[in-house]
Structure 1
Amino acid sequence: MSGRLSKLLAAIMLLLASAWPMAQALPRDAGRAVVDLIADHEAVAPGSTFRGALTLLIDDQWHVYWKNPGDSGLPPELIWDEATNVQTGEFLWPAPHPQPLEGLMNYGYSDKLVLPFEIQVPEDASGEVLLTGMAQYLICMDICIPEEAQVFLPVPVADTSVPNNATRADFAWAEQRVPTPLDGRAVIDRSAGNEWVLSVESDALNAALSADIEYVRFFPEDHQILHAPEQGLRKGDAGLALTLQEAEGLGGDGALAGVLVVAGTDKSRYAVELTAQPGSVISGTNDKAVGMTTGVQTPDSSAQLTVIGLLGFMAAALIGGLILNLMPCVLPVLFIKARGVLELAGHDDQSAVRRHGFFYLVGVVTCFLVLGGVLAVLRAAGEQVGLGFQLQYPAVVAGLALLIFVLGLNMMGIFHIGSSLMNVGSDLAAKRGGQGAFFTGLLAAFVGAPCVGPFLGAVTGILLTQSWLVILVVFLCLGIGMALPFALLGFFPGLVKSLPKPGAWMERLKQFFAFPLFLTAIWLLSVLGAQAGTGAIVLTIAAATAIVFGIWLLKTGSGENGSARIVKPVALLIALAAFVLPIVMLASTSQADAPVSSGSAEAYGEIWSTDRVTALREEGRPVFIDFTASWCVTCQVNKRTTLTTSKVQAAFEEENVAFLVADWTRRDKAIGQELAKHGRAGVPLYLYYPAGKESPVILPQILSPDLIVQTVQTN
């Protein structure tokens, strides 16, 4: 009996062992796509070449990306295991489809994708050839999700190759969609500056254009052109011409490669692969304009924004504004606000409490609306700006540093400037109390705007492609969110009664609050030094000294004798001149001529440029880019707690990662364009380009050493 049982178990084990490769080779449901690895032969001969293919059956409304994903995205890839015992070629990519989204343009596929590649069988192959690895891809709808699936493909080795009829339809699907080589010639004319003309001469293309056409579009293999704009179409007897917009800072003077697609109204698609050489427009290709869209016309993005989309933006902005209250750069100003709120605890006039909360809300909202308006105007004028742009000007930074310093002196009791400025020691029932609350709100919002915290980075990046009205609505929500905690005390005065009662301790607390202000002023000086050099720091410190001298002169010479009439205006004039003079001097200084301080990029990484990124990637090195600014506190926290730690630096060295720093402390148009390309309006932004991959991994705004190490070791 035991012998029979042993034979039965052995037979079961043998059956399971023979079925295991078959089970591994089955399609895998990775979540939003079914992934499979197939071959066009059932058996292959030693020394022969056959084709494999990665196939994706994609869920409804989801899509994956072409080898150049466009404005965002990542293309599918296969990462082979060591067990793979054959040489494989590159994917043959079917012609992509345009995928517009909120002012951006991506390229990719929906429903189904088959990516064929060649496989070389070794001359001495026997048994079977084995392909095993991991398929990775980014799949998107309204959100994007990275997915992966283990793939496994064993193909027996035989004396002669045997075609696989079961996969013939899949390879035929790909063959019908892979672009054919151009049968004529293509030329890219850059003589008109940023507006390029791609002209294509081809008999086959002309035949395709004679049918009913839905659109014609050129899909570039790189990022020399802007992906989103409409491509103006003209045609003639010889072919066609498309108007392309250069991506500033990325355009070149050499060849332009890509795929040209002519899509018919009957869903047919004619696609050619071409490389356009520099030259003049080919005669007979641009005789007359054609009234059809090229790809998918990108309409005004404000028209694309649905009511639900706008409500989503507003909700995210409201939450982001609330979170701004926790940002380090806002806390010193909130200390000032807290001082005023504590005085409310002992006040019985509820109308004064409401007025205090209302004017603080108006101050915050006013600042955000002004910033949003300026941002919209600058964007409309073609400037690359984002949140925090006001701190990119040395004059603004110097003025803010002096203002914070003066407020600190006031909190220390060195002098009193009354309730018209900060509502310190004032009667809350007086009108001046509202003015103080309004000013506090203005200051808190102005300093807090550069802190692009959670819920803000991606929102403002997409938001700034919208109309000025949408921008102002969302900035209004940002302001309301930031002001809400203190405004609630004003709108519900009963909450104030739960606060501690005022007393002698308030004077000591007021003085304590001065020290965070002094630290904030020192931080702003470091920002100023990175922008305009040590000379600007010396100038601002000298101005601060002159202001203190003016205050001292005002206090010591303000007796009852006749000299007070002379000393007081002189002291005020000295203090005012000391405040204004460095702002005027720095406003007339070009940032381009200012030195980069030792605290900038080279102190902990190599200086970023698009050319340097290209060169490093051509060498096959992975690249990590830190888009930062000295005025961005979140950036500096990430720098100290993560990017400069020995653990991260050791991982960079071990994986041969090039570490580049794009310092946006001073205005830099190239950095602004790069941020916009990745859907960001401000810093921080962290990109990691794995070796040999076209598109980067975008990391979150809050970093940790483990996250960085895992990213560089697994990609």
Structure 2
Amino acid sequence: MKKLAYLLLFLVSIVSVQAQIVNPAKWKSKIEKLSDTEYIITLDGTVEGDWHMYSQFTAEGGPLPAELLFNNEKGNYVIAEKAKESTTKTVYNDVFEVDETYFDGPVQLVQKVKLTNSDLKTIQLELSYQVCLDVCISQSNFFEFDVKNLTSKEVLNFEDSSDTVAKTTEKAVTITPVKEEQKGLFKIFFIAFLSGFAALLTPCVFPMIPMTVSFFTKQSKTRAKGIRNAIFYGLSIILIYVVLGTIVTAVFGADSLNALSTNVWFNIIFFVLLVVFATSFLGAFEIMLPNSWANKVDSQADRGGFIGILFMALALAIVSFSCTGPIVGTLLVEAASKGGIAPIVGMLGFSTALALPFMLFAMFPGWLNSMPKSGGWLNTIKVSLGFLELALAFKFLSNADLVLQAHWLEREVFLAIWIAIFGAWALYLLGKIKLPHDSPMDHISVGRLAMALLVGTFTIYLIPGLWGAPLKIISGFPPPMTYSESPYGVGNSKGGAAATDVELPDGAKLGAHDLVAFTDYQKGIDYAKSVNKPVLLDFTGFACVNCRKMEDYVWSDPEVLSILKKDFVLISLYVDDKKPLPEAEQYISPETGRKIKSIGNKWSDFQITHYKANAQPYYVVLDADEKPLNSPIGYTPDVETYKNWLLEGSSK
């Protein structure tokens, strides 16, 4: 089915190749005169469906941020600060390995301008931005505001009419994926649910299951009433933790903590916090709430009825805090950094897993006989959670180091720390390390041995990463390969030892997987003629997510890579290259009517003019006379489909 879906996508791309100008963002603008020297410019954008437009403040190294460029600012007016933005969302991008920030809903940018030249007639503004879905599009829109004839307090509204491309062509056919926000919330719920089960298997919570269920069955006059009370008890547990998630959302705001996800102090503080949690789980000390709280709540639990049951649930939360607190704290940090209602969803997942056993065992009390007895295995689980907390803590410290670019925690150091942590965990499970609250034992169980083998295997898997192995299983956790002492592996350089001895053709450089790639179209064409090979024209972008995915997961396939190296001359044209063109080479595009000022503008206009497409990635196979050898395609994540497309082009 998966291959069939990719085949359908491939066929759609062929059918719609003449209608691939995509314009997912539409704009309106207005200007308001506040005084003789001050104006407010507002740009309102509507972004279609699941497309993402990126904020001015998205992290460097990822998708392109929005940028307001004032063409006639010098000597005429001043811009005090960046434009204010509408609501944004920050999520981790595992391709670029940064937190990217994009607009969540309609886009609004509000810019204050202060005039210094009373004779100024117009303010000329260019909005440059990137939008992505299955493909990425870098666009710019031009706005011009008449300030000479604008009276005080007058507001003028404008429809954007600069985008002639969108008005003369159809929109490409795309397959709409599941909303990223929904996927993120499902992921948070699932992780929180598993964390709730982990908390359930700790010494503070597990022994309370038979005690609590026995209380309900003995105190209730009928079995039906006992079941009803136990269900209300479980719902009360859920209510308490969901209220906690709601409070976090309300206090910090739905999207304030996510803006801190790349903040140095935020990451350092939570690194310290998680180390404290981990140390507690390992047995150094207990994190407990004041005993007076538990006593007061416990006294209210004797009141009976639903109010008493509610206080019983609250007492469970307080008494078990030494075990659940670190897990809840970690979940809230991770969920809150996603913004929105993620803390509420996280607490719903955690509390549901925590409450389910109490309700189920009350309904079926006979199951209590099959429950394992409390013992040292509960402390083993608690200690194991401590090792996991400790490993996760260094992810926050790594985030801070990456933002600072201090190079204190480069990839090799991070991996060495993880190897030490997981190695110590494996030794602990094998009984070679003893911690304060461990029970004496003369043998280990089969389950504990299986867990030790699993953790030990993961530890061994990490070791080759010190010498440059990609470690795709943990992609996104350690720093990227480029942030290391040896970016290409110990003893290696880009292209291998022999690559430095190869003289590259004029206008070429080493690209992804050491492919020789031309970044100048004409030089690439001339070279292709000299070696009598077809050209693979690659319209790409430095900040194009799916361009990197194609390179990482499709071009890396041995068969595809062999075809690219032996049968094609690769020309990669970056449509988001901001380097300015020489003044003499700048021009007005006859296709779009826009001024072409940068190298990226030039290649984007080249793509639109010659192929009636503006999305990346976009691939075209040409012969030496610059004629297409097959139908161009866009993002094609299926290796077989892409390989067959290359073979079709190279065989003609």
Report the TM-score when normalising by structure 2: 0.38
Say which one has the larger Rg. 1
Larger strand percent: 1
Q: Which has the higher contact order (CA 8 A, sep 6+)?
A: 2
Report the TM-score when normalising by structure 1: 0.35
